[in-house]
Structure 1
Amino acid sequence: MSRLQGKTIIITGASSGLGMEIAKQSAAEGASVVLLARRLDRLKEIKEELTRTFSTDVFIYSIDISRKEEVECVFDEILKTVASVDVLVNNAGFGVFNEAHEAKWEEIESMFQVNVLGLIACTQMILPHMKTRRSGHIINIASQAGKMATPKSSVYAATKHAVLGYTNSLRMEMARDGVQVTAVNPGPIATEFFTTADPSGSYEKNVARWMLKPEKVASEVVKAMNTNKREVNLPKWMNAGSVLYTLFPRVVERLGRKAFFKK
């Protein structure tokens, strides 16, 4: 029997890409899944597919996690509907790649509202439940950009640095309550993310050979569920670059500057 059999997993940003793949693989392991996203029509399609394919419960909620009142309302409803929540995957997020002087203020605000404040709002709604039960798992989808910033992604990188800071602090706090906290730091993933981040398609074309498959990343996330995994870093060679950057930032910035500008 799978260790996820009978568990309940909430996934934000579940209407496409990585979130959708995490939902599929969790359901395949016998977990009940609670899928959150703005696109209710897409969530309905995914629910129909999952309930047809797997014998498990699927709950869907339309939500804009940048709106705290919506987060509070939806999570209150979830906690009334399901007996317990075992895993929260904070996957919702987006980026826009621009040089710092070109970044539009509304996009800056929106990235912080979704990537940081929305993640914190969802987490805060579930923490009392997990603390009371003295079990649970928070998985925050961050990014290699949160470890090593590059040109043309200053704001996006700043949001992911914030996610890692929050995650690392939360992990130490929640250890007292038996709740696991994991950061997932993927490199570029072949999803709809780049439709918004890079409408020109140039970055996606330049890094196509290194693009991660969402199925692979989802598999690593699902493997980490209900374990004490501190971080999931993909691909390993890119994470090695992040480690080198921590140790030798000036050297990496000088040698890698030309490659970094390829987005």
Structure 2
Amino acid sequence: MTKTILITGASSGLGAGMAREFARLGYNLAICARRLERLDQLKQQLESEFSVKVTTQVLDVTDYDQVFAVFKAFQQQCGTIDRIIVNAGIGEGRRIGKGHFEINRATAETNFISALAQCEAAVEIFRAQNHGHLVMISSMSAMRGLPKHLSTYAASKAAVAHLAEGIRADLLNTPIKVSTIFPGYIRTELNEGAKKLPFEIDEKTGARLLVKAIEKEPVKAYVPQWPWQPLGLAMKILPLSIVNKLG
């Protein structure tokens, strides 16, 4: 039986890119985001190019009641959901103490509280099914506290990594798997205006490597593995003055 993958934040960027790669592998998809028009365009593209079924739903992940409603609706429509990828998030942020609390609060809430809601809804489904694969998209920025506009973003991504590990600890020795993915610098629509960053890769390459990593159902994965796996270890012990230069 063909498996179904639910991806949040799938109307653009890495969410849409992963949807394409998973469709290429023959998975059915349940994709959701705020922009239904984009989702439906992607649905048409994928169903015409690949022999898969794509189901769409509008979802604003900051509407927590809607998160539970949409995930349950997908389960009813698809029958079984085999993998849920908590991908939706934002990259906004400002320097702390500069009068931008509302922007930083929105980043923290969207990237962490919304992820918590998605995990609650996902694991509820997986517990009922007694199987499933929860995938948390974190970031290499989760390795350390970072300065300037990255402070809140990095903290939110560290929080989701710890959340995923806690869920994994709770589900040890069950058929439910939990993976935490740490992408490095991937150029997408979300950050297209940012300065060029060290070791950055393009969106298409990033999506392909993310899917390749997720398919292995790892406990954790760094994407791309080189140079981010050794850099991740280094970031945890290097002086902040050196870590700052990675941002």
TM-score (norm 1): 0.86
Question: Which moved further from structure 2: 37-46 or 89-98?
Answer: 89-98
**RMSD across aligned positions (CA):** 1.9
**Matched residue of 1:229: which SS?**
coil
Cα deviation 1:128-161 (Å, max 9, x = unaligned):
2212332210111100011123212110011001
Residue 198 of structure 1 is matched in structure 2 by none
Alignment of 1:35-74 (within 5 A): 35-74=31-70
Q: Is the 8 A contact 1:15 1:39 kept in 2?
A: yes
Match of 1:158 in 2: 155
Contact persistence 1:10–1:85 (CA under 8 A): yes
Q: More displaced, 52-61 or 112-121? A: 112-121
Q: In structure 1, what is the Cα distance between the partners aligned to 2:164 and 2:145?
A: 18
Alpha carbons of structure 1 residues 226 and 131: separation in structure 2 relative to 1, 3 Å: farther
* Higher mean C-alpha displacement, 139-148 vs 103-112: 103-112
Q: How many residues align?
A: 245
The separation in 2 between residues aligned to 1:13 and 1:145, in whole angstroms, is: 20
| CA distance in 2: counterparts of 1:134 and 1:221, whole angstroms | 25
Instruction: Write the mapping of 1:184-263 to structure 2, written as runs, cut at 5 A.
Output: 184-194=181-191, 201=193, 204-207=194-197, 210-225=199-214, 227-235=216-224, 236-246=226-236, 248-249=237-238, 252-257=239-244, 259-260=245-246
Letter in 2 for 1:129: I
In the alignment, does 2:82 pair up with 1:86? Answer: yes
- CA distance in 1 between partners of 2:176 and 2:137 (Å): 17
How far 1:220 moved relative to its partner? 3.0
Tell which deviates more after alignment, 5-14 or 212-221.
212-221
What are the ranges of 5 or more consecutive residues in structure 2 without an aligned counterpart? none
Q: 1:211/1:255 Cα in 2 relative to 1: closer, same or farther (>3 Å)? A: closer
Cα distance per residue 1:187-235 (max 9 Å; x no partner): 121101115xxxxx4xx3341x622222233223323445441112024
CA distance in 1, matches of 2:132, 2:2: 14
Q: 2:115 aligns with which of 119, 122, 127?
A: 119
Overall identity of the aligned pairs, in %: 27
| C-alpha contact 1:21 1:218 (8 A) present in aligned 2 | yes
Q: Does residue 161 of structure 2 align to residue 171 of structure 1?
A: no
1:223 counterpart letter in structure 2:
K
Distance 1:217 1:232 in 2: 13
Q: Corresponding residue for 1:132?
A: 128
More displaced 10-residue stretch of structure 1: 211-220 or 154-163: 211-220
Distance 1:210 1:107 in 2: 28
Measure how far apart 1:114 and its partner are. Answer: 1.5
Name the SS for the 1:112 alignment partner.
helix
Give the TM-score of the pair, scaled to structure 2: 0.91
- State the distance in 1 between where 2:229 and 2:97 align: 28
**Aligned mate of 1:145, from 141, 144, 161:** 141
